[in-house]
Amino acid sequence: HFYVAAMDAEVQARKATERDMRLALGTDQLELHYQPLLDLKTGQIVGCEALLRWNHPTRGWVPPAHFIPVIERTDLITPLGRWILHRACLQGRTWLRQGLGPMQIAVNLSPVQFKHSQTLLAMIADILDQTGFDPACLQLEITEGIAMQNVETTIEVLQSLRTMGVLVSIDDFGTGYSSLNYLKRFPVDKLKIDRSFVVDIGQHPDNAAVVKAIVDLGHSLGTRVNVEGVERRNQLDFLLAQGVDEAQGFYFSRAVPAEDFAQLVRDQRDWLA
């Protein structure tokens, strides 16, 4: 192995990000933005995905790709994951009091959180109790890779979540190696197709075939199918033709602060027009 200066710079940058994030936790540097989720049958906003944003005092808005991987490799993911879920549930209650709802809110779970399943389940139950948020409006997302790491444990955790009344979605679907034999045993409410399958719709027929197959599979299993990363009209038209249930992406809106999301809901229009 040979020393390369760039390696040291990368390590130092990662350490600095971790240090700054520890200082940011619990301050107004961190906030949640919300990307609208549209029902493709009605053309209306029916929910959102809560996404973490970091406004660093000197670096400005830090791209999530620069700090999320660092967080997931440290013990920060536990307190931060709790903060995100708690803040999202509180926001959901606020919207409900404002007459905007019930609004479905999706929150991503990390591999570390899911690995400590009993702690995770206790945390979710505690936050729902503290905030009074309706569990039927909370959607927790796990990636296909997480779901397949320990199938029997996954099934137990998903069944516990369903008992609580929480919705469960498998995120980035199509990018992992799901066994259909196991998939049919997962008590999930939604399959979320990864954006990589729609980014080049119209250019690669193989991707279009995969999307159609996943939609058919999801519906046959009794789940709704969501597609993320919709950026162009031709993508939306294709998804509508395939019978996709829900969609999100820059074509409709980026993730925005809570107040801006509330205004989008108040100004409801036919987003498919």
Q: Sketch the domain layout of the chain as residue ranges.
A: 31-266
pLDDT in tens, the chain (273 residues): 666 776 676 777 778 888 888 888 878 899 999 999 999 999 999 999 999 999 999 989 999 988 888 888 888 888 999 999 999 999 999 999 999 878 999 999 988 888 888 999 999 999 999 999 999 999 999 988 888 888 888 899 999 999 999 999 998 887 766 667 777 888 999 999 988 888 887 677 777 888 899 999 999 999 999 999 999 999 999 999 999 999 999 999 999 999 999 999 999 888 888
CB 230 within 8 A of CB 239: yes
Looking at the DSSP assignment, which residues form a beta bridge with residue 74? none
β-pair partners for 107: 140
pTM > 0.75: yes or no: yes
The domain made up of 31-266 has a fold known as TIM Barrel (3.20.20)
- Phi first, then psi, for residue 108 (nearest 5°) are -80, 140
Half-sphere exposure of 216 (CA within 13 A, CB side): 6
Cα-Cα-Cα-Cα dihedral of 155, 46, 97, 83, to 10°?
40
- Is 217:190 a contact under the CB 8 Å cutoff? no
Q: What is the reported pLDDT for 117?
A: 87
Main-chain phi, psi angles of 166, to 5 degrees: -80, 145
